[in-house]
Amino acid sequence: MLPGMDAVFRALADPTRRKLLDELFTEDGQTLTALEERLPMTRFGVMKHLRVLEEANLVTTRRRGREKLHFLNPVPIRLVHDRWVSKYAEPWAATLSGLKKSIEEETMQKLPEAGFQLPDGVTVAVFEVFIKTSPERLWEAITDPKLRARYTFGVETHSDYTPGSTYKSSVPGVIDIAEGENTEVDPPRRLVQTFTALWSDDVNAEGPSRVTWEIEPVGEDSCRLTVVHDELPEGANPELYGGWPMILSGLKTLLETGEDLTTPGSLRYSGAAEAA
């Protein structure tokens, strides 16, 4: 059964589970033992709460040797925001348009699309989303430059997607975004790329990192997409990885509805691309 918004709201309704999410926000990638030490309950109790969070897709897990690490997955919260919070906040936002404009202009210059910040010492960010689509269609949306531009802020990514080939992401004639190498290409299951940001001197100075796309069929008509952005420098600029929740929300929306997200970040370069 695929996690829906009911499962997300149910998971968030419990204060202990919210505490677990707060702990992972503070220090991502923790073991069960580490989380158990932070809560006044038995190991079995922590396991039960983590299971609910995993079923809601709010927590993802990765193996590191014999250890099972737990990571906060902000994508479902982003989807809840896009579906519920943003439309109800709109009337209030209209009355604060002047303040909103001044804040956005200042913030976007510093942290465009940076939705969150990794804790000190953490060098990997893990994101997961369930999408009602086929692996082949999902792979096409990741690798086709025109489709990808519809959920990556208007940015096209061009490559022939063969092992060892290079790629370049940009808004043609407007701005270069990223470049790298396709180190593993296994359609329609797995794509591993190096990632060097180009949109500003600050992010370019962070050096290369790595992005892994993993597609897993689920049930008869859906997929689990996991994106792992790792090999980040300690204290990495949040602009490098903070846009993933919005990107993956836009990808899910596109494949399930055929429509584009209309959040400011999703539309950021669309007008510039049309004018170029």
pLDDT values of the chain reduced to their tens digit, one per residue, 276 residues: 445 678 888 898 899 999 999 999 888 889 999 999 988 889 999 999 999 999 988 999 988 888 899 998 888 877 776 666 555 544 444 444 444 344 334 433 333 444 567 778 889 999 999 999 999 999 999 999 999 999 988 899 999 999 999 999 999 888 999 999 999 999 999 999 999 999 999 999 999 999 999 999 999 999 999 999 999 999 999 999 988 988 998 999 999 999 887 765 555 555 554 554
Whether the Cβ atoms of residue 138 and residue 188 lie closer than 8 Å to each other: yes
The CATH number assigned to the domain with range 113-275 reads 3.30.530.20
CATH class of 5-72: mainly alpha
pTM over 0.75: no
Domain boundaries, the chain: 5-72, 113-275
What tokens does 221 get? 């008509």
In angstroms, rounded to a whole number, what is the distance separating the alpha carbons of residues 240 and 196? 9
CA distance 276 to 155: 13
pLDDT score recorded for residue 3: 53
